Copies of this chain bind each other. A is one copy, B any other.
Amino acid sequence: MYDILIIYKENDMNISLEHKEALSGLIAAPLVGYTKDGSVDTSFIHDYASLLSSNGVNGVFINGTTGEGMSLTFQERKEVAEKWINTSPKDLSVIIHVGCSSIEESKQLAAHAQQCGADAIGIIGPTFYKPAKMSDLVEFVAAIAQKAPDTPCYYYHMPAINGVDFPMIDFLKEAHGAIPTLAGIKYTFENLMDADLCRQYADGQYNILHGQDETLLCGLTLGATGAVGSTYNFMAPLYVQMIDAFTQGKAEQALKLQRTACDILQCMFECSSYFGAAKVMMRWAGIEINGIRLPLSDIQPHEVAKLKEKLNDVGFFSYSNTTKAATGKEEKIVS
């Protein structure tokens, strides 16, 4: 359907010797839910995966920032990972994020992810101690990645949160060859030039996933063929239309859709908790997801009401999955 966005799935393709593979299109970073007693809730994951897939999402990035991976216990991370891997439709790639503050736990999570059949793993830079030099970071990532030696690995770059802010082009230069399974970078930062230098590095063999929903159109313009984001959870149809417009050269329509996405994001940013707002919106999209762990917090009822009103004004509800989920119909809204 999208000529620039060809979807590869590990089990459908011949993995190259270098264990690289292209993951493309929209990759959602699913939210996590909790039961009333505060333990992790995996009951809705099957429906969640189906909904995403039916809305045009090609993959999921599990246990990352949006998925509160750092707030889960070691056991819970494994439980959530297993559920997503086991219940996702075949056409939904599952990337398991295994980064945490202890490199030893990350190694174990990496081995577990491969054992369960993850399509790829993700590794964020150390979240407490900072690497003093680039080689420390590369060694850190390499040591984890080699515990999943047959699974493509994505470095997760998000300096605004973890403070590890080396230019990624320098990371690639040092990691190239040193991390055999390195497949690309989940580039969640606004340095679009650095991201694009990475995209061209080594004849373009690395898959640089665009990481900020509010500038996806810019990412596409710069050659990104895949993107990871949190709002792909509940408004993928909007982005699918935008990618479609972009691919067909309809610049004006693509911009109009990106602007609607930004209007929606701005409504979220104006809430007291971005994550709290996202969970509300996911429920509106049809998935009964509840709870949040401290230090994150839910938004209050009066905020929910205000958010609904504002989202209605900017057109959110024509792009969320509500109707479809409500009716149970799973044909694509856009086609």
Q: Which residues of A contact B (CB under 8 A)?
A: 38, 68, 70-74, 76, 100-105, 108, 125-133, 136-137, 139-140, 143, 161-163, 169, 190-193, 196-197, 200, 214-215, 217-218, 221-223, 249, 251, 254-255, 258-259, 262, 265-266, 272-273, 293-297
**Residue of B with least CB distance to A77:** B102
Determine whether the beta carbon of A101 is less than 8 Å from that of B103.
no
Determine whether the beta carbon of B140 is less than 8 Å from that of A294.
yes
Q: How far does the alpha carbon of A105 sit from the alpha carbon of B108 in the complex, in Å?
A: 17
Find A259's partner among B100, B196, B249, B296 (CB 8 Å cutoff): B196
**Residue of B with least CB distance to A252:** B223
- For this chain, the copies found in one complex come to 4
- A128-B161, A259-B196 in contact; A103/B293 too (CB < 8 A)? yes
Interface hub of A136, A137, A273 (most chain B Cβ within 10 A): A136
4 residue pairs, one from A and one from B, having the closest CB atoms = A218-B218, A131-B295, A70-B128, A193-B214
24 residue pairs from A and B, CB less than 8 Å apart = A68-B129, A71-B129, A72-B102, A73-B102, A73-B108, A103-B293, A104-B293, A127-B127, A131-B294, A131-B295, A136-B294, A140-B295, A192-B218, A193-B266, A196-B259, A196-B262, A197-B266, A200-B259, A217-B221, A218-B218, A218-B222, A221-B221, A222-B255, A249-B251
